[in-house]
Structure 1
């Protein structure tokens, strides 16, 4: 081939230049030359659900095998060709044991990620902008446009917020993956994983478990599927006789149980094959027969091993459910039993009971059309990720749209793909992540929990639980370091952060990190507060004033600030009568304690209350506000409400005002800080008291 000659010439020239350079610099050749940067026309990867795909020396199954690869394997593409059967093969470059090799790979199980030969198309760029496609969509769409210029891409701005949709799909039981998947595909959320046994919770028969949030993000992100195969998850699934025919169905069922089956497919006096039967089902239901074929293979397997179509299930002999409608485990029944129970009921509109194969194929298609495709869930993507507001989804397998889209793509001939103006409805969400959500790949135990955690000679709060990740501890000034001990729940996990930790005065965060075998990390944090030295005692009250006929006399344990007109020294939980007994009045004068609203009190005295003295004529002669240190909300007690008020002030959320601010400054240093926070906390825990 002429193009092959050009590649060889470039390679020879490049090798010659390299050898000359090595000779001139007295270097030794130790690696294989890689010329992929100048020659490749694109990049691709093996589909993630594929194992044991062969790379061969030529574009035919008769060529010798170089190696086998599995899902996620990446390579450079140098040419695209077809074999005698019309199947697509790619000439690729890849690394094998440190060397860059060349070979061929069958195109049916790979995804072309990027083509380097794309030429800018001004009209198409203007169209992408008019549709409102974000920039992160455009590269994939450009690649598809270059390969299939007749295809039409419609941006479906569905008005849904990305985070809301993601949260909705992470509800337990809504998005599943198979139990044998790598650990990063499986959820360890509450109810999905047993940290002690390392077992995942089965949520459906057949070993299905909850998908991890990272896998849901990958499956939900349309940008991951803008390639020639997966784009068909966005294809309209309605019936179109001009596009869908027997030859396309033959391609879809090739090599499956539906190709040359001996199953009895009679219906209304006529005999059908799977191919003609699916065309009939599409016509009657308004659903694409390609989609119906793909759905059957997804549910029953290429070999047709599914118990739902055996006709021999105990208790449901002679019933069939090709699309597994209503097939979910509940009420003590398996998914298969519930699906066949559904099939056995009577509903003339959907041809139930499905006591023949064709009634199941045609009637089930009518159900799909009525319930999903003809009601707005008209793409594979929207059948899984429902945006109609009904909370209604056909499938729980989070990767079903990806695998079914490949089957759908295979149903169309290359001629159809090149000449038909397929319309693809591609979702665009509000507030999407800037970068594409990649598929998680980590494996190994996900267990990143501690079995025990302690601080030697102290008790942490709250009591340890491997679900609880934040703890606190208060130590006195003399404690300059603590020892933190603990162990992982899973022996394969690594733990860092244990051992001795020096403490500074104030707050110290000690972080213990557990790294699971699959790389997932979990942090446990112990906040250790080291108290400062005890502050110098407050100066005692001055000499008792001479008795005055109008001004009150105070007992020596009360402190009066005559400049700012406030009183301290009143005990927490002290009642009005007890405080008034500590005040002396003369010549008919008397005192009252009012609340901040001016009403006389007879209960507990708190911050913000007012002590007023009246002379014998009832005229006010003095007024003082009362402060109880630590009683920030003025209820006369030190409790959780005060704790929160101090914390909010430290965090800069909200500061108390006036005497309430002074009450929060427990150590009277002119600031509301960590020491005041500790004083209130110790008082609440019964470990100390706030000095008044």
Structure 2
């Protein structure tokens, strides 16, 4: 009978919950309910309708306790939120309607998607549910606790002190079973939100690290569009990588445009779902228990930053990163890894020497504002930016760069290493990307993972924000492979083949490798040999007799034919190269005559276009033809 009686009181409590202030106490009692009691033959109240006064008082005490605890929680959370930004991610749902009030039936202010970053400001309870008051862009509203993931240890400590007890009281009063709150259940509710092609990777990580939480970031972007938009100067690879990763030189600084296959490989989130790369998706908030000064020191141990600042021997780099990260509320390990990525282990860049001519005493450790197609342009632009910012000490450069990264990237929603390189958020999509190196998220993530391993904190509570795209391949994009192609020769009207006039096929030429063509054995009566071409009519790629060539095709396993080119004897074996500015500019360049079969350098450019940097010549105006460097 006791269970039946409690249910009557709870029905009353729920009915008034939405019209009483959170901290108010109801004056109503069960006696004020509509009288529906029935009398039995002995003029006694039917026990099925009886209200047990003892139970009623017990519930009333619990409600008072809940209200008092909520008041304390609200005060504590507001104090914490005034000290730092409390970041959280929407998860366990494809989309969520930000509510005007802490009520499922309340008006929707904005539709959030899985992976969106919000900032927690306050706490409320209603209908037995815990709600957080949050901000997202210019909107403020309510989200159920169940649909937020976070790794901020100060906030988790707040929840341990207040919210756990609030939930226990709610469970007692409302008999709720809020199973969705626990992302560590046996069915892994967080993993279930992802496409099936993610599951095997995430299940393996969850099994090894039960405290890790995975949040699906719904990008709502089509995979093919993403790849197309990341091509060009925003995606570069170092010259040390094999040709399959490259698609032509980017200026003269030793960098190359990334091939489409390379971009697909590094952008496919499934290629990061392993122990070494997962931290490219780590939510970059500050957590004091494991993001310690010792942990930062281990990151910097084998680099030029292992000791004191270059211009201040009283402070170490580890101390600087730790203090700066703590003050900004972002991971000091991330800040240290970012500078390590930008400057390398040796730290020999003029951007951080403090001695570069014209910029003595200025430093730019994060390479912010440093851009250009030559080293000189990159250095000058980066140090000019540092001078404008007043970064005339190492500490100022570290702090100033950290503030920009924190405010312009992390707190603006680009809050993982991956998103800082590949901006697939809804703000400035495909733009506002911190670096051009396509491997930066993987390498920085590996450095952070190593630091956590070295400090024994790899099994701490981490939240990983992992993008999902529309129409992705059914499996992870593979690493680019080194393509090979075959070469055959065509006499193209020359005299009939004999054992004397024969050119052998060449097999297994590697894309990206330079080769030299053999001496031509073909002859044609009344004609002189004028070199080779990939088209019979001479409109393709030309190769001189015994000249050098490379990358005649990008297609793996293809066979390229070189056609002999012939000119009549005495007809003048030359052709003309015409130079065009390809746009509006100044300057002129005369035509250049080149002898067939002979190697010649192109003229140095004398054209000028304001606001543009010359990157080379091409036989097609849109850059899709044969590429040549300046004076190549």
Task: Give the alignment's TM-score, normalised by structure 1.
Answer: 0.44
Structure number with larger C-alpha Rg: 1
Whose helix fraction is larger, Structure 1's or Structure 2's? 2
Higher RCO (CA < 8 A, seq sep 6+): 2
Task: Give the alignment's TM-score, normalised by structure 2.
Answer: 0.48
